[in-house]
Amino acid sequence: MTPPTPAPDESAPRLYALVPCAGVGARSGAGRPKQYVEIASAPMVAHTLRALAAVPRLRATLVVLAPGDQDFEACAPDFTGERAWVARCGGTTRAATVAAGLLALRARGAVGSDWVLVHDAARCLLQPAWVDRLIDACLGDAVGGLLALPVADTLKEEAQGRVAVTVPRQGRWAAQTPQMFRLGLLEQALAAAGDAVTDEAGAVEAMGLRPLLVAATLENFKVTYPEDFELAARLLRGRVAAAAGSAP
């Protein structure tokens, strides 16, 4: 006789993804919010959300849009179901958008001990295995952490268009997303740090805490500048071709 499947432990911390999607993409040169630009036959945000949907441990993904957004549903028609949440409460900065998203999660029943994985919509090459790696590393951690990449290039500090000094690269990492922290901690950190922080880890660091660095891959880059779009498209098409070649 097959034993019954145990009921999920509703008292255990839950995991939510939060995708800030209220930006205008001013640096991309796309003429519209970059998350809605088509890359490899689908808008960028659709690729991002497809990857998050393939992570079973995420209870839901909340996409935080600008209040007047009229494009999202057409650009992500597959983002439906009980695990697909949308809130049109984004702010003028990333920090404000994430803070508003945390309030929206609270309104849907999330509590302070739950985990939130904040991920850039523009990191559209995300793979579910990378998210699982972050979750595995952070679930038992007191602070939380982020995907990041050790810096391989020699770093130069600039002054008036010229090299001012060479900066040692040892011990330096490039921050990526998702960044995974408890909802309550992230609320406190963002409230204290204000809009100046450019990522959630920075806000948590400002509280005197040390987020965990989880090694990622260069492929998890953020599509930002015009030349990034073609690179992302080539990589995505390469994945499709590789998957087709390995199919029986």
Quick check: is 8 in a domain?
no
pLDDT at 185: 98
Quick check: is 215 in a domain?
yes
Domain span holding position 224: 15-246
Q: Is the confidence at residue 108, as pLDDT, over 70?
A: yes
**Looking at residue 128, which CATH number applies to its domain?**
3.90.550.10
| pTM for the model | 0.91
Quick check: is 81 in a domain?
yes
Quick check: is 164 in a domain?
yes
Quick check: is 43 in a domain?
yes
Distance of CA 116 to CAs 17, 164, 239, Å?
A: 6, 39, 28
Quick check: is 135 in a domain?
yes
pLDDT at 12: 79
Quick check: is 2 in a domain?
no
- Mean residue pLDDT of the chain comes to 91
Q: Is the confidence at residue 228, as pLDDT, over 80?
A: yes
d(CA 105, CA 94): 16
Q: Is the confidence at residue 6, as pLDDT, over 50?
A: no
Confidence of residue 9 (pLDDT cuts 50, 70, 90): low
Q: What is the pLDDT of residues 122-181, one digit of tens each?
A: 999 999 999 999 999 999 999 999 999 999 999 999 999 999 999 998 999 999 999 999
Confidence of residue 33 (pLDDT cuts 50, 70, 90): confident
d(CA 32, CA 132): 32
Number of folded domains that form the chain: 1
Confidence of residue 79 (pLDDT cuts 50, 70, 90): very high
Distance of CA 177 to CAs 61, 124, 134, 147, 227, Å?
A: 14, 11, 10, 6, 21
Quick check: is 4 in a domain?
no
Q: Is the confidence at residue 53, as pLDDT, over 90?
A: yes
pLDDT at 246: 63
pLDDT at 29: 47
pLDDT at 32: 74
